[in-house]
Amino acid sequence: KGTEPDAERVQRVRKDAFPDTIEGKVRRKLKARGESHRSIWFGMGMFGVVGWSVAIPTLLGVVAGFWIDQRWPSRFSWTLMLLFIGVVLGCLNAWYWLQQDSAPERKKQG
C-alpha cells in the first residue's frame, strides 16, 4: 500500500507536536510568574470558597431531608434525594464561582 507502519507514524506525529507542547508549557509558566498578585493565600481562599459552596447546600439538603423523613415517613428516603440534589447544586455553585474567577483572564486572552 505504501503506508508507513502505525508506530512510525505515531512517533513522527509526536515529534512534530513536541515544540508546540513545550511552547504551551513555557507560555503557562510565564503567565503564572506574571500573576504575582495571586499568592498561596489566594489559592487557599479559592479552595475554601469552592469547598464551602459544595458543603453548605449538601448539608442543608441532608438536614431538610432528615426533617422530612422524621415528619412524614414514606418508602422513599428524602434524606438521600436531597443529599444528591444538594451535591449537584453545590457543584453548580462551585462552577459558577470558578467561572467568575477566570472571567478576567478570558477577557485578556480573547
pLDDT tens digits, residue range 32-54?
A: 676 666 677 777 777 788 888 89
Contact in structure between 52 and 91 (CB atoms under 8 Å): no
86 or 30, greater pLDDT: 86
Confidence (pLDDT) at 83? 97
- Across 3-24, average pLDDT: 72
81-107 average pLDDT score: 85
pLDDT at residue number 54: 92
3-state helix, strand, coil in the chain (%, to 5): 85, 0, 15
Model confidence, pTM:
0.58
Q: What is the pLDDT of residue 63?
A: 97
pLDDT of residue 76: 92
pLDDT grade for 98, boundaries at 50, 70 and 90: confident
